[in-house]
Amino acid sequence: MSAFDIEQGKKILCQELNTGKAYTGFFYLDDKQISTEICSYDESFYLVPEKPIFLRTEKNQIVSLHSNISNYPGSSIRTIEPKMETSKLHISSNTAVIGHDRRETTDKLKRVTFLVRRAKDLLKHKEKFDALAKRKIGDEYDSDLFSVTASGMTIRAAYSSGYSLEYNATTNITPYLEIEFPNGATLSDYLNHVGCLVEFFSFCLGAHMTPSEIRICRLLRDDFIAAVKAQAHPEDYAAHYIWPKIPVHEALDLWVGGSLVKAWDEEELAVLKECITLWFGRDADWNKANGQMMRCLALRQEFSADRLLTACTWFEEIPLTRAQAAITDEHIELIAQAAAQKGSELGYTKIKGRITGALKSIRTESNEDRFLRLLNMIKQKFGPAVVDDMIITHLKRALELRGKSAHGHFSPADDAEFRAFVKSVCAMEALCFLLTACDLPMTAAGIERAQSNPFIRDYRLVYGA
C-alpha cells in the first residue's frame, strides 16, 4: 500500500500550488468523481484546466490533477460596508496522482503495479497459492507467478498477502500485476499498456474489467528493492481514475471454465505467458479491434442498435477480416476486353471503361464467401462443432441490420424479428471472439473450454430465427 493513499468519500482540506497565492479549498475523491473546490478572498483567480493542477492536502500529500474541466469562478459579493468578495472555482478531473511531489505530464515512470480483481481466479496457481497459504513467519517463499518480456516491457504477476499473528497464518492472498518500462513512460503512455493487459483478461473471461489500486514508481523493481534495503525510503504514487460504471453479473461473467487460458498449473501457466507475449506483440495492429471488444462487453446487459454497430465495427477492425480478392486485375482486364469485343459486334463501341468499372465492384469476395473462409480457419483451430452452420445466416443478417441501425433507431416489428436481431448480435460477437483467439497458443483443454466462453455460450443459448 502507498503511504499516500487518500481517504475516499471525504472532503480533504487543501491548498492549490499553481498560483503562488496558496488559495484554499477542498479535494474530494471516490469511485464516481474526482473534484476540487478552491476559494479566494477579495481577489479573482483562475486555474487553466488544460495544464496539471497541483494541490497540497492537510496531511501534506501532493495531488497532481490531470484531464481537468473547470468553469470560471463563481463570485459571492457583499455590496454594503464592509464590502467583501469571494471567488470559488470548481474543478472536475479524470486523473489524480497522489504522492510526495508533483507529477508533470511529461514526467517518466518506470514501473506500475495494479489489480484486476475480476481476474483473481484465473491467476490462482494451485501449487504456488497453496505454498503461500501454508507458510509460517520466517519461511522462505516465492510470491512471483510469472514474468515475460514483450515489446520492450516486462510484464509480471505476483501475489501480495498479509499475515495474522493471532492465527499464525497467511491472509488476503491477492494476485497483482506489474509492468516495467526500462526506457520510462509518461502518464498517458503507461495507461495504454495497462489497458492492453486488462483487455487480455477481459477477453479471456468474456467480462468487462478495469484496473484498480494503481501504483506508479520512478524506479524499476530491482532498484526499488535495493533502495529499500539501503533505507533510502523510495516512494511510489497512487494513481486514481474515473472509469465508466459497467453493470455486471459476477456469477455468469467470471467462470474460469470458459477461459481459453488460465494459470492453474505449470502447463497452463506456460501457455498463458505465451499468449500475453503475443497479445502485446500484436497490439499495434489489434488495439482498435480490442477497443471495440471492450465496448461490446460494456454493453452486454442490453441488446440495442449500438451493440450491433459495435459488434460489426469490431469485426471490421480485426486484421484477419480484410476482404480478399475474388478476381485479379489481370483477369478483370481480360474479361473486359472480351465483353467489349462482343459489345462492339452488337454495335456498342464505347463501353469497355464501364465494363471494367463494373467488374472492379466485384473484385473482392462477397460477405458470404468471406464468412465461409474465416469460419473454415476457425474450425481448423477449434474443431467443426465450435459453431453451427446456421451462423452464416445470422452473420449476413447482422450486416443487413447494421445498415438499418446506422440510419436511425432500429425498432423490431415483432418478437420474432427481435429474436433474430439478438441472435445476429451474438453471432457476430462469437465470430469476433474466435477470430481474436485464432492465432493464440492454447492447450487442448483451453480449446475445449472455448465452448463455454460467454461469447460462444450466449450465441448458443439465445433463441433466434
The answer to whether residue 6 sits within a structural domain is no
Q: Which helix (H) or strand (E) holds 237?
A: strand 237-241
Q: If you ran DSSP here, which 8-state letter would residue 364 be given?
A: B
Q: If you ran DSSP here, which 8-state letter would residue 139 be given?
A: -
Beta bridge partners of 153: 150
Q: If you ran DSSP here, which 8-state letter would residue 17 be given?
A: S
Predicted local confidence at residue 39, as pLDDT: 93
Q: Report the phi/psi class of residue 9: left, alpha or beta, with left for phi > 0 and alpha for psi in -120 to 50.
A: left
Which of 71, 99, 127 is the endpoint of a domain? 99
Q: How confident is the model at residue 322 (pLDDT cuts 50, 70, 90)?
A: confident
The answer to whether residue 274 sits within a structural domain is yes
The answer to whether residue 287 sits within a structural domain is no
Rounded to 10 deg, the angle between the 367-382 and 415-437 helix axes is: 60
Verify that 59 and 201 share a domain, yes or no: no
Verify that 91 and 188 share a domain, yes or no: no
Verify that 193 and 114 share a domain, yes or no: yes
Q: How far apart are CA 324 and CA 320, in angstroms?
A: 10
Q: What are phi and psi of 63, to 5 degrees?
A: -105, 125
Which of 44, 76, 99 is the endpoint of a domain? 99
Per-range mean pLDDT, top range of 119-123, 336-340, 347-351, 402-406: 119-123
Minimum mean pLDDT among 28-32, 120-124, 336-340: which range? 336-340
Verify that 369 and 353 share a domain, yes or no: no
Verify that 76 and 206 share a domain, yes or no: no
Q: If you ran DSSP here, which 8-state letter would residue 386 be given?
A: S
Q: What are phi and psi of 197, to 5 degrees?
A: -70, -40
Predicted local confidence at residue 331, as pLDDT: 60
pLDDT digits (tens, 9 = 90+) for 206-241: 999 999 999 999 999 988 889 888 888 888 999 999
Q: What are phi and psi of 156, to 5 degrees?
A: -130, 160
Radius of gyration from C-alpha coordinates of the chain: 28
452 burial level (CB within 10 Å; 0-12, 13-18, 19+) = middle
CB-CB contact of 185 with 151 (8 Å): no
Owning domain of residue 52: 12-99
Nearest to 182 by CA among 216, 160, 152: 152
Q: How confident is the model at residue 1 (pLDDT cuts 50, 70, 90)?
A: very low
The answer to whether residue 300 sits within a structural domain is no
Q: What are phi and psi of 68, to 5 degrees?
A: -100, 155
Cell of 79: 455590496
Minimum mean pLDDT among 16-25, 135-144, 205-214, 423-432: which range? 135-144
Verify that 133 and 243 share a domain, yes or no: yes
End-to-end CA distance of the chain: 53
The answer to whether residue 148 sits within a structural domain is yes
Instruction: Give 290 or 251, the one with higher predicted confidence.
Output: 290
Verify that 255 and 115 share a domain, yes or no: yes
The answer to whether residue 393 sits within a structural domain is yes
Can you give the pTM of this predicted structure?
0.87
Verify that 435 and 398 share a domain, yes or no: yes
Predicted local confidence at residue 360, as pLDDT: 53
Verify that 124 and 226 share a domain, yes or no: yes
The answer to whether residue 179 sits within a structural domain is yes
Q: How many Å separate Cα 350 from the centre of its chain?
A: 55
Instruction: Give 166 or 389, the one with higher predicted confidence.
Output: 389
Verify that 273 and 354 share a domain, yes or no: no
The answer to whether residue 306 sits within a structural domain is no
pLDDT digits (tens, 9 = 90+) for 393-431: 999 999 998 887 776 666 777 888 899 999 999 999 999
Nearest to 206 by CA among 418, 451, 461: 451
Verify that 43 and 133 share a domain, yes or no: no
Q: How far apart are CA 395 and CA 409, in angstroms?
A: 20
Q: How far apart are CA 254 and CA 453, in angstroms?
A: 10
Cell of 437: 483467439
DSSP symbols for 159-216: EEEEEETTTTEEEEEEEEEEEEEEEEE-HHHHHHHHHHHHHHHHHHHTS----EEEEE
Minimum mean pLDDT among 263-272, 403-412, 428-437: which range? 403-412
| CB neighbour list of residue 437: distance below 8 Å, 6 or more residues apart | 203, 260, 381, 450
| CB neighbour list of residue 300: distance below 8 Å, 6 or more residues apart | 208, 454
CB-CB contact of 171 with 132 (8 Å): no
Count of domains forming the chain: 4
Verify that 64 and 116 share a domain, yes or no: no
Cell of 365: 469476395
